[in-house]
């Protein structure tokens, strides 16, 4: 009977880790998404299409960032900075819990003695597992949403 209680407690702990990991990932993605959309739009605008200027690179990047941010604001207001948030949050609702829970289980198997090498191996393998499941398709959807929402097209 004691074994059943332990299994139930382990399942509850795993479920709570999944829930908390998903919630924290969604909050973090929402908080940082405006920066990500700005970065994505800057990458898609392509600096290579512009003629070289005498403006120092740092000042040029800041000016371009402000120009793109102003365009996002003009076309969508505050909500313009959150275009494409849904697939980004969905990506993390799967990716982060898979990575964390698989790491926990692999760490116990790969490093029962707590060795750094075993923990590093568990971390790498759990990252690969999480990366190949939902990460790639959701990332492509997110980038597409960031690039083309609010009539902003890549230039």
In a shared domain, residues 69 and 90: no
In a shared domain, residues 6 and 67: yes
| Dist CA 71 CA 56 (whole Å) | 23
In a shared domain, residues 1 and 20: yes
Containing domain of residue 117, as a range? 77-154
Domain presence at residue 3:
yes
Q: Which of 81, 59, 49, 74 is nearest to 154 (CA)?
A: 49
pLDDT tens digit sequence for 66-110: 888 999 999 989 999 998 888 888 888 888 888 888 898 899 998
In a shared domain, residues 11 and 70: yes
Model confidence, pTM: 0.67
In a shared domain, residues 2 and 70: yes
Domain count, the chain: 2
Pick left, alpha or beta for residue 52 (phi over 0 → left; psi -120 to 50 → alpha; otherwise beta). beta
In a shared domain, residues 81 and 142: yes
């Amino acid at each position: 009977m004691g074994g059943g209680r332990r299994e139930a407690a382990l399942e509850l702990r795993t479920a709570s880790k999944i829930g908390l990991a998903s919630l924290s990932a969604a909050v973090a993605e929402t908080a940082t998404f405006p920066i990500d959309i700005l970065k994505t739009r800057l990458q898609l605008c392509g600096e290579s299409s512009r003629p070289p200027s005498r403006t120092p690179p740092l000042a040029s990047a800041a000016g371009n960032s402000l120009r793109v941010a102003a365009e996002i604001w003009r076309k969508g207001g505050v909500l313009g900075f959150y275009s494409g948030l849904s697939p980004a949050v969905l990506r993390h609702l799967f990716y982060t819990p898979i990575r964390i829970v698989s790491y926990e289980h692999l760490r116990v198997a790969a490093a029962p003695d707590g060795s750094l090498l075993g923990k590093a191996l568990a971390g790498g393998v759990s990252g690969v597992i999480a990366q190949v499941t939902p990460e790639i398709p959701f990332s492509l959807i997110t980038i597409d949403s960031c690039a083309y929402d609010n009539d902003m097209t890549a230039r």
